[in-house]
Amino acid sequence: MRIIGCDLHARQQTLAMLDTTTGEVTNLTLMHEGNQVREFYSQLPHPVLVGIEATGSMYWFLDLMADLGIECQVGHPATIRAAEPRKQKHDRRGLDSETARREALSGDLAALQGTA
């Protein structure tokens, strides 16, 4: 299984991905250009769980995950920030992909939209 924490932005997304079989953690950034995002997620072997912070512009991403048959958990921003062990701000919204990945792994994301 792959568990992915996704820090979703307008032009890109930063990912922290755990392969639960090997224990390998991969960090990468995907640009929202062309079909790059669809191609990346469609090539992942199932099952896949993606955790993201709720944003106003997340619906295209939730639709894509549903189209690809990938479970997506949406967390409330305040809940995710409270779970951050370091209180250092990572970006303007304060979420990093590693925190989202940890929260998805532990099942602690407060689902606002349910799963996609």
Residue 50 lies in a domain: yes
Residue 34 lies in a domain: yes
The percent of residues above 70 in pLDDT, for the chain, comes to 69
Q: Which has the closest alpha carbon to 103: 84, 89, 116, 78?
A: 84
- Give the model confidence (pLDDT) of 82-115 as tens digits: 766 665 555 444 446 676 666 666 665 544 334 4
Structure pTM?
0.75
β-strand pairing of 48-53 with 2-8: parallel
Which of the residues in the chain have pLDDT under 70?
A: 80, 83-97, 99-116
How many domains are there within the chain?
1
CATH of the domain at 40: 3.30.420.40
Residue 59 lies in a domain: yes
Residue 116 lies in a domain: no
Residue 112 lies in a domain: no
**Domain with 9 in it:** 2-106
Backbone φ/ψ region at 97: left (φ over 0), alpha (ψ -120 to 50), beta: alpha
pLDDT of residue 111: 43
Residue 39 lies in a domain: yes
* Distance, CA of 72 to CA of 70 (rounded, Å): 6
What are the residues facing 72 on neighbouring strands? Answer: 50
